[in-house]
A and B are shown apart, each in its own frame.
Chain A
């Protein structure tokens, strides 16, 4: 299969983390970000901490909250970024096709999420095809396109055919999985996702995984995904969040924050 590669005209991500070259005066584009959220039955797995009403807090619950954290934060950083939403059962379908920078649009798209228990294997071909098509539109408006895939299946790596044109958009992945065991293969899934990311992503794509069931870790990873693709360093050099602890008196090690994920009423 002939695959065309679009060479990015943007500078390569910097390798060293020193301050001097963090902010070169280059063109900067606002983002169109397409979320693709796994709705297979493994999203019903429970996280380690109960939700606000003492009800079980599932992966899907934490994903929704993590996405709202991302959207709110991203819009505080820059109100011109936009978001659209899709879900992944066996293949991908739209939750909200029009890109919007309104928080309410994100909220109502996430309300449309429902678990599809029948799907066990997933195919990302359609997602990549749609993203390639949408990315062309964004690029025509001097925006950049990004897909954030949130994947939750521990036993089946996703299948995909590569789109005919590569590197038109950035691909990030958040992978939530069970602990490795005899009946599953999260490492294989992870490696498949890394492979897709490396072939497809225009700018440095980031992939994070979490098997501990801690919402706090998921939220931290989502904040790391806030990094603007045109300003990223390579993932191996990513040293965030930066610890703000002074060298002198001992910092306060307050207990409450380890599993803190609650709504304030």
Chain B
């Protein structure tokens, strides 16, 4: 049986790209385009752009390993021809200078193409005949890190989206011990409809706060209440108040880590030293407990709303297994006596009492399941 393989020169390019790319690029699928169906020399790259993704197909040919690849963009980007104009400086063109033995070339190419794509989108947007869009474009274009995207309806531009990075602070440095690989950011997504005629004042754009994925361990953008967009406002006016609110939220989120840490530590005298706990965001801890001869684990999960929302607890037996050989777990326990106003030691006492009782129930249920 033949196994599909990726030719080594191509695989080296992909590995370098994924290991070094400042944005998180992924390979979505790979397939063969050459005479040998087991050599995977074509693949789709999923590239983050403007809080969404673009997908580009990279076409190598395993039969000609020294040749530069082709890149195919999405159908809606037919006008995107990055190296078409004769005025492009030769040194900036990674395709013209292709060296298959240098594994960093694909990485350079993709970074270049993404920059060119950003410029392409900006050009398109600057040409739209819509007063508000023109104004927004002119006031926001100089903001560092902003990305823009124009989506098309059947025939003409339909919407313009801005991805506005907020707060010029290094979030990665705020949390002690955190190992986020990529710089984390919160963005304001602003979407304007294009070309509609408004009688007086255009309606507010669609607004959404979006954070980079790893930030979710620290901050919930869903719970953030956006300030009101006053009629006649523009994005540049909207941002300062928003950033101030976000800054406060982030400070609160960082100090919440210590509140959760203190709580987990307060459980240790009752439930024992945790067998594992997350020391960076303090969102979870597992304890090893017993009730008589019955040994079980207590998994404790703290949401970002702690202490307003109480911890969710799950018990897991060390002695009872289901049909798949997995140790039996209790359902999630999140309704038990709780008040955020209790001090740490009262919270810990109450949880201990609850668990001491619940352990007996759990043991009984597990034994009953056994007897069936």
A219 vs B288: C-alpha distance when bound (angstroms): 12
Q: State which residues 11-43 of A face B: CB under 8 Å.
A: 17-28
For A53-72 the 0/1 string (1 means CB < 8 A from B) is 00000000000010011001
B264, B286, B292, B323: the one within 8 Å of A251 (CB):
B292
Do the beta carbons of B370 and A246 come within 8 Å of each other?
Answer: no
Do the beta carbons of A264 and B177 come within 8 Å of each other?
Answer: no
Closest 3 CB pairs of A and B: A242-B272, A19-B268, A241-B290
Chain B residues within 8 Å of A76, by CB: 286, 297, 299, 314, 316, 329
Do the beta carbons of A242 and B271 come within 8 Å of each other?
Answer: yes
Q: What distance in Å separates the Cβ of A204 from its nearest Cβ neighbour in chain B?
A: 12
Chain A residues within 8 Å of B179, by CB: 27-28, 142
For A103-118 the 0/1 string (1 means CB < 8 A from B) is 1000100000000000
A22 vs B264: C-alpha distance when bound (angstroms): 8
- Given A23-B282, A25-B176, A220-B318: A228 and B289 within 8 A (CB)? no
Q: What distance in Å separates the Cβ of A162 from its nearest Cβ neighbour in chain B?
A: 29
For B257-276 the 0/1 string (1 means CB < 8 A from A) is 00001001111111111111
Do the beta carbons of A240 and B288 come within 8 Å of each other?
Answer: yes
Is A2 in contact with chain B by the CB < 8 A criterion?
Answer: no
B290, B294, B314: the one within 8 Å of A242 (CB):
B290
Chain B residues within 8 Å of A24, by CB: 279
Is B278 in contact with chain A by the CB < 8 A criterion?
Answer: yes
Chain B residues within 8 Å of A182, by CB: none
Is B353 in contact with chain A by the CB < 8 A criterion?
Answer: yes
Residue from B286, B287, B367 having most chain A Cβ neighbours under 10 A: B286
Do the beta carbons of A244 and B290 come within 8 Å of each other?
Answer: yes
* Closest A residue, CB atoms, query B175: A25
Do the beta carbons of B325 and A240 come within 8 Å of each other?
Answer: no
Task: Assign chain B's interface to a size class.
Answer: 35 or more
Task: Assign chain A's interface to a size class.
Answer: 35 or more
Do the beta carbons of A78 and B276 come within 8 Å of each other?
Answer: yes
Q: What distance in Å separates the Cβ of A45 from its nearest Cβ neighbour in chain B?
A: 21
Chain A residues within 8 Å of B297, by CB: 73, 76-77, 223, 226
- Given A76-B316, A242-B289: A263 and B268 within 8 A (CB)? no
A241 vs B317: C-alpha distance when bound (angstroms): 12
B269, B280, B320, B323: the one within 8 Å of A18 (CB):
B269
Q: What distance in Å separates the Cβ of A119 from its nearest Cβ neighbour in chain B?
A: 28
Is B359 in contact with chain A by the CB < 8 A criterion?
Answer: yes
A246 vs B356: C-alpha distance when bound (angstroms): 6
- Given A22-B265, A26-B177, A263-B323: A226 and B275 within 8 A (CB)? yes
Do the beta carbons of B280 and A25 come within 8 Å of each other?
Answer: yes
Contacts A76-B286, A222-B318 known; list 13 others, CB within 8 Å: A18-B268, A23-B274, A25-B177, A27-B179, A65-B321, A76-B316, A142-B179, A223-B295, A231-B274, A241-B272, A242-B289, A244-B289, A256-B370
- Given A76-B329, A244-B291, A258-B293: A264 and B323 within 8 A (CB)? yes
For A230-265 the 0/1 string (1 means CB < 8 A from B) is 010100000111111110000111101110111111
Do the beta carbons of A26 and B269 come within 8 Å of each other?
Answer: no
Classify the secondary structure of B's interface with A: mixed
Do the beta carbons of B272 and A239 come within 8 Å of each other?
Answer: yes
For B338-372 the 0/1 string (1 means CB < 8 A from A) is 00000000000000110111011001100101101
Residue from A227, A251, A257 having most chain B Cβ neighbours under 10 A: A257
Do the beta carbons of B265 and A23 come within 8 Å of each other?
Answer: yes
Do the beta carbons of A107 and B177 come within 8 Å of each other?
Answer: no
- Given A72-B327, A76-B316, A219-B319: A20 and B278 within 8 A (CB)? no
Chain A residues within 8 Å of B322, by CB: 263-264
Do the beta carbons of B316 and A246 come within 8 Å of each other?
Answer: no
Do the beta carbons of B275 and A242 come within 8 Å of each other?
Answer: no
For B194-218 the 0/1 string (1 means CB < 8 A from A) is 0000000000000000000000000
For B307-338 the 0/1 string (1 means CB < 8 A from A) is 00000001010111111011111000000000
Q: State which residues 176-195 of B face A: CB under 8 Å.
A: 176-177, 179
B279, B314, B320: the one within 8 Å of A23 (CB):
B279
Do the beta carbons of B290 and A257 come within 8 Å of each other?
Answer: no
Do the beta carbons of A263 and B325 come within 8 Å of each other?
Answer: yes
Q: What distance in Å separates the Cβ of A142 from its nearest Cβ neighbour in chain B?
A: 7
Is B277 in contact with chain A by the CB < 8 A criterion?
Answer: yes
Chain A residues within 8 Å of B295, by CB: 216, 219-220, 223, 241
- Given A28-B279, A251-B360, A262-B370: A245 and B176 within 8 A (CB)? no
Chain B residues within 8 Å of A77, by CB: 275-276, 284, 286, 297, 299
Q: What distance in Å separates the Cβ of B329 from its nearest Cβ neighbour in chain A?
A: 7
Is A192 in contact with chain B by the CB < 8 A criterion?
Answer: no
Chain B residues within 8 Å of A103, by CB: 326
A170 vs B355: C-alpha distance when bound (angstroms): 32
A-B contact pairs, 30 of them (CB 8 A): A19-B269, A22-B264, A23-B282, A24-B279, A26-B177, A73-B327, A77-B286, A78-B278, A78-B284, A223-B288, A226-B276, A226-B297, A231-B273, A233-B273, A239-B273, A240-B275, A241-B289, A242-B287, A243-B290, A244-B289, A244-B291, A244-B355, A245-B356, A252-B292, A252-B360, A254-B363, A254-B364, A260-B319, A263-B323, A264-B369
Chain A residues within 8 Å of B274, by CB: 22-23, 231
Do the beta carbons of A243 and B291 come within 8 Å of each other?
Answer: yes
